[in-house]
Amino acid sequence: MYQQKQSVTEPGQSCAVTALLHQQCPQLSEWYATPLTRSRLVTLQSALQQELQTRLCNGASCYALHLLQLVCRFQYRIDVQLDYQQLLAAVQNVPEQALLELVYGQLLASCKQTGAHQHLADGFALAAEYLSSADYFRLVRQHELLGWLALADTASAPQQLQSLLAEAAVIKQLQGDTGVPFGATHRDTLG
């Protein structure tokens, strides 16, 4: 068991999605849609099952673990719409709902799928009062830049956040003032 947990969070291999495994209150400002290799997914799911059993036996909250299950299923290219709906029905507070919307929006954005912008916007609106000033403005800028991505009903191969931001920056530059990103709602605070 120790070896599995260690392999999930090896130095240099760590990503925010592993925080869903280990933290009761994951950060709303993190990016949870980093594509994982199949071997990392298998290792993560094994650790997830062990942690889920432990928390269930101790009566601890399992919401973040169920969200992690959604992430893993999405990365296996399984339709997670029903999982999303079930988690939405199970939220117990605003931060949980914000996290669900942000994570689902990030997963959709990573594959440039329709709906990503709206879920990111909904998640941000819910999360805003729980974010530090620095995280607030970082997410505003990140989401507005991602708003330049063209989305489609058919998923593309998942991409890293930096790749998505670079592509969005190029699109923004090419369209100049003629294009308008989805939900450009923070012009008053960012100019």
- The band of 26, judged by pLDDT with boundaries at 50, 70 and 90, is confident
Structure tokens at 148: 């330049």
Q: Note the maximum CA span of the chain.
A: 57
Tens of pLDDT along 125-157? 999 999 999 999 999 999 999 999 999 999 999
Q: What is the pLDDT of residue 181?
A: 60
Question: Each residue of 50-62: pLDDT tens digit?
Answer: 999 999 999 888 9
HEC per residue, 102-117 = HHHHHHHHHCCECCHH
The reported pLDDT for the residue numbered 180 is 57
Helices 161-175 and 133-146, axial angle in degrees (round to 10): 60
Is the whole-model pTM more than 0.95? no
Q: How many whole angstroms separate alpha carbon 190 and alpha carbon 140?
A: 9
